[in-house]
Structure 1
Amino acid sequence: MIRQPIITVMGHVDHGKTTLLDKIRSSAIASKEAGRITQHIGASEVPLSVINEICKDIPNFSSSNMKIPGLLFIDTPGHEAFTNLRRRGGSIADMAIVVVDITQGFQPQTIEAINILKEYKTPFVVAANKIDLLTGWMSNKTRSFQVSYGKQSKTVQDLLDNKLYELVGRFGELGFNSELYSRVSNFQNELAIVPVSAKTGEGIAELLMVVSGLSQRFLELKLNIEVNGPAKGSILEKKEIKGLGTTLDVIIYDGTLHINDQIAFADSNNEVNTTKVKALLKPKPMHEIGASASKFYYVDSVSAASGIKISAVGIEDAMPGSPIIAVTGNDDYKNIIKSEMADIFKTDNAGIILKADSIGSLEAISKLMSSENFRISKKGIGNVNKRDIMDAFSMYGTDPLYAVIIAFNVSIDNDAEEEAKTSGVKIISENVIYKLIDSYKEFVNLRTTAKKKEAEDRITFPSKIEVIAGDCFRVSHPAIFGIKVETGRIKPGFIMINDSGIVVGKIKGIQNEKQPLQEAKRGDEIAMSMDEPTYGRQIQDNQILYTRVTKEMQFLLQNEFSYLLNDDDKKTLEEIIRIMNKNSTNR
């Protein structure tokens, strides 16, 4: 049997995700003559007959070759729903709709959604929402963008085209080829952008047409299911319902689940639990789902793809995002679930600590952190506690950049907060993944820059200077004379040697136009003072002097700090090493 594809809706806050889902539902309900929408737990099913009715206004639309029975839209929009709908290797969501406010363009959560979809290799289309807010747009009583667009003035059409090409440009910056859906020549290589108004319904027809068409064309094999096989699903949410207690909202993507089936899932301690299904509940037709048992009706079984509420004993610790499977006699269910969970909780020997609100969030952040080459030493679900602080503190010895806790959508215990202040552990807490990753990047950059600055402050750079002839201001105590920096950089405190490797003295100060300097670089002509030498004896006109670079510093400059040297600096270092080795041999 071919099941309906599972579609999630993602995008930035206030860009119209929920309004779009509501409009799709209301459009389907209005098409009563073609069939009613079916409401699931956490999902709404729009049958193919309803899609046909909604799309009838689109010129040349035909669904004669469609084999999918309809579309199953996840009612909970956002990355949380997408990432919690997981199975090994990716998401059970077959496709996503990324909603972008055409008047505002890309926002932080837009990029977050796109990055998550990219990591999970999930196909998506773009709903360019709020076309009704474009200056001069005249809304029409049609669900077809194509029909409404044809009735707009040339000025409005041009404005829309400009906005669309701004989106095309932004997608290009992220490495995607995109185009208005009607201009796409290859849907495998180009993102389809569908202009819509979630408020008026214009464009809903084309959006459903594109999503169902792409599902039919590219996902048909993936949508094949074994209806009579054991159920496989994913926990979307855990809820308290009056009259039922703790319940699980589950999306079933394969097989059939029955009352009294034994089910297995992972708990908050990453242990595998089993229980017997006491009840399967669906919302009453077109009823607003509330927190009361009276809002639901009981069913004996449910087949993929569908959303269902499960009532059972011992599910209080079930983790959102956990796989859930019906246990049969021959199943090694513990190893199946543990194997899948092992991928999520896999860690590095050294790295930051990650705490998140669900398995799905944990996995999504782990994928994005890995793509940035950041390492994670510990992962967990729930609040940041004192033990997490101690574990992060232990990373100081390995790398101070790892003494960090990344906290997504979770609280920080009071004693943990106090411990972090005294130990110096950095806690980065956000409820937007995009900001979380960026905040850690910023932290790393700031710390790395500070570390480089600290390194530069204690490094003796390989430098060569020339004494400017006839430019002596004082002969001795201290000798003050003019020099030109030929290569490298010099600072007060550097010890200078001559071309025989003999120490001439230590730089007491450097100045330009009687103003003290902290540093002089290649090409600078300045005055330099030294206590030890006498001009005319140890210091001569046109003499070449070098910074003395110790054996330890030579090793550091050739290895850890080699990135600080350019080609000329490296040649000067080789020259200094030869001079110092020659002087050592002569002794």
Structure 2
Amino acid sequence: MERNNFTTTIKKQPVVTILGHIDHGKTTFLNAIRNLPFTGEKPGGVITQEIGLFEVEVEGSKITFLDTPGHEIFSQMRERGAKTADIAILVVSAIEGPKDQTKEALEAIKKAQVPFLVAITKMDLPGANPQRVKQELTKIGINIEEFGGDVPVVETSAKTGQGIKELLEILILLAEMQNLKADLTKKPKGIIVESQFDSKKGFLATCLVEEGVLKLGQIIGTQTAFGKIRRMENWKKEPLQKAFPGQGVLVLGFEGQPGVGEIFEVFESTEEAKENLEKLEKREREILIPKEGQKTFDIILKADCLGSLEALEKLIERLPQDKVLVRVLKSEVGLVSEDDIKLAKTSGGKILAFKTGVDKVAKKILEKERQIKVYQFSVIYDLLERIKKGMEKMLEPEIERKEIGKLKVLVLFWRSGSRQIVGGKIIEGEVKKGVKIEILRGDEMVGKGKLINLQINKRDVEKAKKGDEVGILYEGDERIKEEDILVFVIEEKRKVEI
């Protein structure tokens, strides 16, 4: 778009994050990239511990590398609606192959829905076996290019520089395929990558700019801190006047310490920043942290007026949430917007609109993003029922145990492995073929199994009743003995209701 011959839309600098197992050479790999052109010398200090990111220029294009503390922060940023990275690199050791942390990192990448490539590291070490690693990658669900998939895999060595240049070229290609753009007229916004306190300089924050142009002198704020930008530095500690989308900068001027993963915005005044802080603190309290084992049902709430929102929020708070926690990721008056759809896509939250519609831009996006739906309501209790149904779907059905009969074992016929044929008399209820068996010896349950077959007078039957003498084929680990009582049990699934 053009305005007064001034271009307000530019090509966005791609942001790349590196994830993987803690011992698979992520930091060494990053240092090898940071120290291009490769010299083979040991890197002079780990800049990522200071600022959390750095830039590399490849064939005239710049790439920002973000060193996240781990997939937990990556997931946290995703849930807060921030598209932290445009591309991800999954590092995997050429010796060890994928580990549990690799799988967790892969899950975080998939949830964030960003393109990625795999860097097989430590190729210079004895025992490196990239072909075995590639086979293992396919087993955990990565469709690599070499085997007909779409995920590039690059064999690398931080020590020799092998594959580093090729990897950077692939990153540029992936960025070009996404056609990343940035609108400079948008209000500056981004995410806090790192935060610390310096006894001489005060509070410092590494900010990754996502939208707009961050400038010296602006009022910046998050949900926990705000201040006036007194100084900005790039990753080389050079002073900056401006920072564009895709760039990371060290910001001095916060009056408090912002939290890692928090979204920052620019405000017209200190007063506006304070009001925003109070509003976000309230919202953050509402987005509760789930207890261990507790599931979460995330929603994005839109309404026609503040009164409707407040009424809905109070009713949602009253829902039983011991098993499933309802988290209100966003609660706002107005039409469903592009930002709401982005948040739904990155967080997996459901968009619930009460007496309000969808704006034009959002409608066009929804035509392409078929997996995202906007649920519209005109009656409050219909909206609450939708939340309840969503919560119930997340719960496993309860298993209800029901005793249907008992048998006293009178004679033992045959046993082979885990199977045994016994005879006895039904003393209570009835018995059906296929039911579960619990073995009582005295007052103690000593084993469990299954009734495979049932006979009366050596003829197969489906069921038998009290008083019948029967032969049964039992399967289970515990051996049945004479005088044991066999309890016949059926288990029924029951839907859990909120």
Scaled by the length of structure 1, the TM-score of the pair is 0.49
Q: Which amino acid in structure 2 is aligned with residue 320 of structure 1?
A: V
The one-letter code matched in structure 2 to 1:224 is: K
Q: Does 1:72 align with 2:64?
A: yes
Instruction: Give the match for residue 118 of structure 1.
Output: 110
The residue correspondences of 1:358-397 to structure 2 (distance < 5 A) are: 374-375=295-296
Contact 1:257 1:303 (8 Å CA) reproduced: yes
- State the shift of 1:325 in Å: 1.2
For residues 134-154 of structure 1, the C-alpha deviation after alignment (integer angstroms, 9 at most, x for no partner) is: 45xxxxxxxxxxxxxxxxxxx
Show the counterpart of 2:403.
460
Q: Does 1:322 align with 2:258?
A: no
* Counterpart for residue 358 of structure 2: none
Match of 1:304 in 2: 245
> By how many angstroms is 1:345 displaced?
5.7
Q: Does 1:17 find its partner at 2:9?
A: no
Q: Is the 8 A contact 1:256 1:301 kept in 2?
A: yes
How many residue pairs match? The answer is 346
Deviation at 1:263, TM superposition (A): 1.5
Whether the 8 Å CA contact 1:45–1:73 is kept in 2: the answer is yes
For residue 522 of structure 1, the aligned residue among 426, 432, 451 is 451
CA, structure 1 residues 278+130, in 2 after alignment: closer, same or farther (shift >3 Å)? same
Give, in angstroms, the shift of residue 465 of structure 1: 8.3
1:47 aligns with 2:57: yes
Distance 2:106 2:406 in 1: 49
Instruction: Give the 5 Å matches for 1:107-146.
Output: 107-135=99-127
The 1:465/1:74 distance shift into structure 2, 3 A limit, reads: same
1:211 equivalent to 2:171? Answer: yes
Q: Does 1:192 align with 2:133?
A: no
How much does 1:332 deviate?
A: 8.6
Distance 1:84 1:259, change over 3 A: farther
Contact 1:126-1:191 within 8 A present in 2 as well: yes
Change in 2 beyond 3 A, CA 1:123/1:90: farther
Equivalent residue in structure 1 for 2:291, among 345, 353, 359: 353
**Equivalent residue letter for 2:267:** V
The whole-number CA distance in structure 1 between the counterparts of 2:439 and 2:71 is 56
Query: In structure 2, do the counterparts of structure 1 residues 230 and 519 end up closer, same or farther at CA, with 3 Å as the change threshold?
Result: closer
Structure 1 residue 327: Cα displacement? 1.7
Partners of 1:201 and 1:344 in 2: CA distance = 47
Q: Which has the larger radius of gyration?
A: 1
- Displacement of 1:129 in angstroms is 0.9
3-state SS of 1:44 partner:
strand
Separation (CA, whole Å) in 1 of partners of 2:52 and 2:136: 32
Deviation at 1:10, TM superposition (A): 0.9
Equivalent residue, structure 2, for 1:97: 89
Q: Is residue 231–residue 255 contact of structure 1 (8 Å, CA) maintained in 2? A: yes
Q: Deviations over 1:162-189 (max 9, x none)?
A: x33x334433333331134xx76xxxx5
* Unpaired runs of at least 5, structure 1: 32-37, 51-68, 136-158, 268-272, 286-295, 355-368, 378-396, 404-447, 469-480, 494-507, 511-515, 526-537, 562-587
SS at match of 2:264: strand
Query: CA–CA distance in 2 between the matches of 1:340 and 1:170?
Result: 45
What corresponds to 1:27 in structure 2? Answer: 36
Aligned partner of 1:173: which letter?
K
Native 8 Å contact 2:424 2:471 kept in 1: no
**Alpha-carbon separation, structure 1, partners of 2:282 and 2:85:** 18
1:263 and 2:220 correspond: yes
Mapped to 1, the partners of 2:19 and 2:406 lie a distance apart of 57
* SS of 1:105 mapped into structure 2: coil
Q: How far off is 1:248 after superposition?
A: 1.1
Name the structure 2 match of 1:172: 138
Give, in angstroms, the shift of residue 75 of structure 1: 4.1
**1:129–1:519 distance in 2 versus 1, CA, 3 Å:** closer
Q: 1:201 is matched with which residue?
A: 161
Greater share of strand residues, 1 or 2?
A: 2
The CA distance in 2 between the partners of 1:125 and 1:87, in whole Å, is: 23
- Paired residue secondary structure (1:132): coil
Q: Please give the alpha-carbon distance, in whole angstroms, between the structure 1 residues aligned to 2:470 and 2:105.
A: 65
Is the contact between residue 424 and residue 469 of structure 2 (CA under 8 Å) also seen in structure 1? Answer: no
For each residue in 1:326-373, what CA deviation from the matched residue of structure 2 results, as whole angstroms up to 9, or x when unmatched? 1248x99867996899599646xxx9426xxxxxxxxxxxxxx8xxx9
Question: What amino acid sits opposite 1:321 in the alignment?
Answer: G
> What's the TM-score once normalised by structure 2's chain length?
0.56
In the alignment, the residues of structure 2 paired with residue 209 and residue 509 of structure 1 have an alpha-carbon distance, to the nearest angstrom, of 74
State the AA in 2 paired with 1:251.
Answer: L
What is the SS of the residue equivalent to 1:171?
helix
- Is the CA contact (8 Å cut-off) linking 1:84 and 1:320 kept in structure 2? no
Q: Distance in 2 between matches of 1:234 and 1:179?
A: 33
The runs of 5 or more residues in structure 2 that have no matched partner are: 1-9, 41-46, 299-319, 326-395, 412-421, 455-465, 473-484
Q: Which residue of 2 aligns with 1:155?
A: none
Partners of 1:103 and 1:520 in 2: CA distance = 44
The answer to whether structure 1 residue 276 and structure 2 residue 228 are counterparts is yes
SS at match of 2:124: helix
- Alignment-derived partner of residue 330 in structure 2: none
Q: How does 1:493-504 map to 2 (within 5 A)?
A: none
Could you tell me how far apart the structure 1 residues matched to 2:162 and 2:439 are? 72
Q: Are 2:407 and 2:424, in contact at CA under 8 Å, matched by a contact in 1?
A: no
- Cα pair 1:6 1:95 within 8 Å, conserved: yes
Query: Is the alpha carbon distance of 1:463 and 1:308 closer, same or farther for their aligned partners in structure 2, counting shifts above 3 Å?
Result: same
CA deviations on 1:414-451 (whole Å, 9 max, x unpaired) are: xxxxxxxxxxxxxxxxxxxxxxxxxxxxxxxxxx9xx9
Match of 1:234 among 175, 184, 191: 191
Pair 1:560–1:133, CA change in 2 (3 A): same
What RMSD, in angstroms, separates the aligned Cα atoms of the two structures?
4.9
Q: 126-135 or 72-81: which moved more?
A: 72-81
Residues of 2 paired with 1:543 and 1:83: CA distance? 58
1:247 paired with 2:204, answer: yes
Seen in structure 2, the aligned counterparts of structure 1 residues 109 and 2 have a Cα distance that, compared at 3 Å, is: same
Counterpart code for 1:28: P
